[in-house]
Structure 1
Amino acid sequence: MTSRRSLSRRAVILANTATATVTVTAMLAGCGNSDSSSSSRHTGHDTGAMSTAAPSGTASAAQGSHNAQDVSFAQGMIPHHRQAVAMAGLATTRAKSQQVKDLAGKIERAQDPEINILSGWLKQWDVKVPDADTSGMESMPGMDHSGSTMPGMMSGDDMNKLKDLSGDAFDKAFLRMMVSHHRGAIAMAKTERAKGAYAPATTMATSIVTSQSSEITGMDKLLGR
C-alpha cells in the first residue's frame, strides 16, 4: 500500500510539473509574438502593410501601361473611323454594285465596334474622347477634316460631292476615296504598332493593317487597277 501511495504522489507531482512547463512556454511564446509585432510596427515592415501595398503597385502599373502614342492613336483613329463609317453608310442607297455595298457593310461592322473600344480606352485613361464633328455635312459625324493632319481623311467638300453621286459614279468615287482613307489608317496603325505601349492598342493596329490592306487589294481590283 505504501509503495502504491508513493507512486501516486510521484505521478501527481510529474503532472503538475508538466502543466507548469506548458503554461510558462505558452506565456513566453505570447511575449515573443508581442515583441515581434511591436518590432514590426516600429521598423515599418508590418506584413499587413506590405500585402496591401503590392496590389496598389500592380494596379498603378496596369493603369500606366499606355503612353502618349497610344492616346494619339485612339484620339486620331476615332474620327478616322467615324468618317469611314459615314462613307460606308452612303453606299446603302447610292451604290450600284453589290460588291461595293458588301464592302461598305463589312467596313461598318468592323469599325463601329472599334470606335466604342477606342472611346473606352480614352475614358479609362481619363482623356477626352473626340467630339462628333458635324461641320461639312449635316447629321454625319467627323466630316470636315480639310485641315486635319490625319492621313487619308476626306474634306467636307469631298464628302458632299460623294453624297451627291449615285450609281457607277458613286461606286468609283467611293472606292477611290476609301482606298486613300484605308492607306491613311494603315499609316496611323503602323506608327502605333512601332511606338505604342498598350498591348490591346498595338493588337488593334496590327488587325487594321492586315484587314485594310486586304480590302485595298479588293478595291483596286474593282477599279480595274
Structure 2
Amino acid sequence: MRALTNRVTRTAALVGAVAAGLLLTACGADDTAPPASASPSATAAAPGSAASQAPAPGPFNDADVMFAQMMIPHHEQALEMAELADGRAEDAGVKKLVAAIERAQDPEIRTMRAWLEGWDRPESADHGSGHGSGHESGREDGHGSGHGMAGMMSAQDMKDLAAARGEAFDRAFAELMIAHHEGAVAMARDEQRNGVNPTARKLADDVVRTQSAEVAELRRILGRL
C-alpha cells in the first residue's frame, strides 16, 4: 500500500513539473515574438496609399505641362461664361449645356492644378506676349493661331455677353462657346499628338469627345433660335 502511495506521489510531481515547464516556454515565446507591425506584409506600402497615388503618374514632357497651364485659364473663362447664364439664359438647351460645362470643367481645373503641383511646375508660365491677360484671342504668342489660348474671348466679348438677355443671350452664348470649345479641342489635339503622360492624354481625349459633342449641340440650338 505504501509503495502504491509513493508511485502516485512521484507521478503527480512529474506532471506538475511538466506543466510548469510548458507554462514557462509559452511565456518566453510571448516575450520574444516580434510585434505584428513588424511583419513584411504590414510594413509594405499598401495599394492605394498616398505614396502610390501620384496625381498624374508616369513620365511627362513640356507638352503635358503646357496643356495643363493653358487649359486651366481656358476652362476658367468657360466657367465665367457659364456663370453669366444665370438670370440671362432663356433656352432650356443652353441651360442644360451650362450645367454640363460647370459639372465637368471645375473638377478638371482642380485635377490639372494637382498635376502641376505633382510635377513641380508653376500653374502659369510666360508663353509669350499677352499671355497674362488670358482674354485675348488670335494673339501671336510664339505658338501660332490654334495653339496656345485658341478660342479665348476678349474683354469686349465678355462685356457684350453680360449685357445680353433672353434669346439674344442664348444666341451670343452659343456662338461664343462654339469658338471657345473649338479652341479647347485644338489644344487637346496638340496634347494627343505631343504629350506623353497617360493621365494628361486621357483628359485630352475626354475634352475632344465631350466638347466636340457640345459644339454639335450648340449648333443645333443656333439652328432653332
Q: TM-score range by the shorter chain?
A: 0.5 to 0.7
Distance 1:171 1:159 in 2: 14
Aligned match of 2:135: 144
The code of the aligned residue for 1:156 comes to: A
Which structure has the higher relative contact order (CA within 8 Å, separation 6+)?
2
2:86 corresponds, among 87, 92, 95, to 92
Q: CA deviation at 1:130?
A: 3.0
The code of the aligned residue for 2:150 comes to: P
**Retained in 2: the 8 A contact 1:145–1:153?**
yes
Aligned match of 2:98: 104
**Retained in 2: the 8 A contact 1:85–1:108?**
yes
- Deviations 1:162-217 (Å, cap 9, x if unpaired)? 11111110000000000000100000001101110110000000011001111111
- The structure that has the greater radius of gyration is 1
Q: CA deviation at 1:144?
A: 2.8
The code of the aligned residue for 1:145 comes to: E
**Retained in 1: the 8 A contact 2:181–2:212?**
yes
Aligned match of 1:138: none
Aligned match of 1:127: 121
The code of the aligned residue for 2:83 comes to: G
Aligned match of 2:77: 83
Distance 2:191 2:90 in 1: 36
Distance 1:67 1:89 in 2: 34
Q: How does 1:1-225 map to 2 (within 5 A)?
A: 65-130=59-124, 144-146=135-137, 147=139, 149-224=148-223
Is the helix fraction higher in 1 or 2?
Answer: 1
**Retained in 2: the 8 A contact 1:143–1:156?**
no
Q: CA deviation at 1:105?
A: 0.8
The code of the aligned residue for 2:214 comes to: E
Distance 1:86 1:212 in 2: 17
CA RMSD of aligned residues (A): 2.1
Distance 1:190 1:205 in 2: 7
TM-score normalized by the length of structure 1: 0.65
**Retained in 2: the 8 A contact 1:95–1:101?**
yes
Distance 1:182 1:63, change over 3 A: closer
**Retained in 2: the 8 A contact 1:143–1:159?**
no
Q: CA deviation at 1:64?
A: 6.6
Distance 2:196 2:114 in 1: 17
| Overall identity of the aligned pairs, in % | 46
- Deviations 1:98-127 (Å, cap 9, x if unpaired)? 211111010010000000000110111111
Q: CA deviation at 1:85?
A: 0.7
- Tell me, which stretches of 5 or more residues in structure 1 are unaligned? 1-61, 132-141
The code of the aligned residue for 1:161 comes to: D
